[in-house]
Structure 1
Amino acid sequence: MFTGLVEEVGRMRSISRQGEAMKLTIGAEVVTRGVALGDSISVNGVCLTVTSYDAASFTADVMPETYRKSSLHLLKPGDSVNLERAMQAGARFGGHIVQGHVDGTGKVIARYVDANAIVFRIEPDTQEQLRYIIPKGSITIDGISLTVVEASNDHFTVSIIPHTLAGTALRLRQPGDTVNLESDIIGKYVDHLLHFRSGTQPAEKPQSKLTADYLTQHGFM
């Protein structure tokens, strides 16, 4: 589990591909401190397993499901990536619960200045992802824990302070770029449980029943 607080911006050293399988070697100095084989590291929001490492880099495999669901297949040697080690028990929880299991990708459709912040407008690649994106809720973008400002039927916005922008690879994202998206896990579990109890599947219900009255009726509030 991660918190969405990026520890370091790493750089892609090499990428090998075999169909929809990949092996990534990433240059890093912070997340490799104390690393061990089998450790989890979030790479642009995707939880990957360390298969080899040295003091200045680590290697991880990307399986076909991850290849298809994330933007990792778009990476090139030299690209910058957001990195975070798995959360330690007892550490400060500065972001929100991030699994590193991305729901899919989205496209940056606008970027503009709002006083001391930069606002990104993002359009998810599927309508289903918007189901779990709510104003003032949490969203993970390329591994960064952010707060949703506005959400509509086809896009959402986030506002980013200079510190976060400077310390992550998000500073490089421009309109047209693809980013990884992971919605708040709590909303996904509650939605699944409500549909399970009602005997329906989420795919059969394009309109969510998650209202305050509905949550109260079913014992969640």
Structure 2
Amino acid sequence: MFTGIIEELGEAGPLDWHGASGVLTVHGPLVAADARHGDSIAVNGVCLTVVSVDGQRFAVDVMKETFDRSSLGTLRPGDPVNLERAATLATRLGGHLVQGHVDGVATVVGRTPGDRWEQVRFSLPAGLRRYVVEKGSIAVDGVSLTVMEMSDGDAAAATATGGSGGPGVAGWFGVGLIPTTLQLTTLGRKPVGAPVNLEVDVIAKYVAKQLDGARSVGGGVRP
């Protein structure tokens, strides 16, 4: 379990492929300092298990399912990555409950710079639309963010600044990035068109499942 508060901006190393899976090496002096075999570290929002530590670097196994559901397969040596160690019972919950289980990949569809902060819009995969609400929480590349705005359309509004919707897109959502987030996470340098990992609020997923079950059993939701 994580909180979505990035501890360190690390750097991707080599990705050693073994068929459809692989071993990813990551440079991160802070998180590697006390890392041990079997520890969980979120890399761009993906919960991965440490298999070895070598000084300021650690290696993690990445299976095919993870590559299929995240953007990790697009990483190249030298790419910046968001890093967060697993939360403990003494951890301050500065963000929200983040599992590190990516629900889908979106793209940056627009950036509007401000005086100190920046408004960024992301495409919203159709299957995730029901779990996202204004003022709700969402993790983007592992960063806990608050949804400022969203569209239920076909992403046409989001393409005005150069992005694209694409198949399976249910619109877009926007967030505001403060200077700290812009400077200390990958979101400060992601260009329009770049992929990002999305994880919706796990509580929203459980609530939706319970409501679906109530409808199927009783033909509607009882008060």
TM bucket, shorter chain:
0.7 to 0.9
Query: Match for residue 139 of structure 2?
Result: 140
With normalisation by structure 1, the TM-score equals: 0.88
1:165 aligns with 2:185: no
Give the number of equivalent residue pairs.
Answer: 203
Q: Measure, in 1, the Cα distance between the counterparts of 2:97 and 2:203.
A: 8
Partner of 1:34: 34
From 164, 175, 190, the counterpart of 2:207: 190
Is there any run of 5+ residues in structure 2 with no aligned partner, and where? 153-170
Give the corresponding residue for 1:59.
Answer: 59
Relative to the length of structure 2, the TM-score reads 0.87
Identity percentage over the alignment?
45
Q: Distance in 2 between matches of 1:189 and 1:20?
A: 31
Show CA shifts across 1:95-132 (max 9, x none).
000000010010101011134211111003x3111111
DSSP 3-state at the match of 1:16: strand
Q: What residue is the counterpart of 1:129 in the other structure?
A: 128
Question: Cα distance, 1:35 vs. partner?
Answer: 1.3
Determine the structure 2 residue equivalent to 1:17: 17
Aligned to 1:88: 88
* Letter of the structure 2 residue corresponding to residue 39 of structure 1: D
- The reply to whether residue 79 of structure 1 matches residue 79 of structure 2 is yes
Give, in whole Å, the separation in 2 of the partners of 1:75 and 1:146: 23
**Shift in Å, 1:18:** 3.0
User: Stretches of 4+ moved more than 3 A in 1?
Assistant: none
Shift of 1:142: 0.3
Unaligned runs of 5+ in 1: 201-208
CA RMSD of aligned residues (A): 1.5
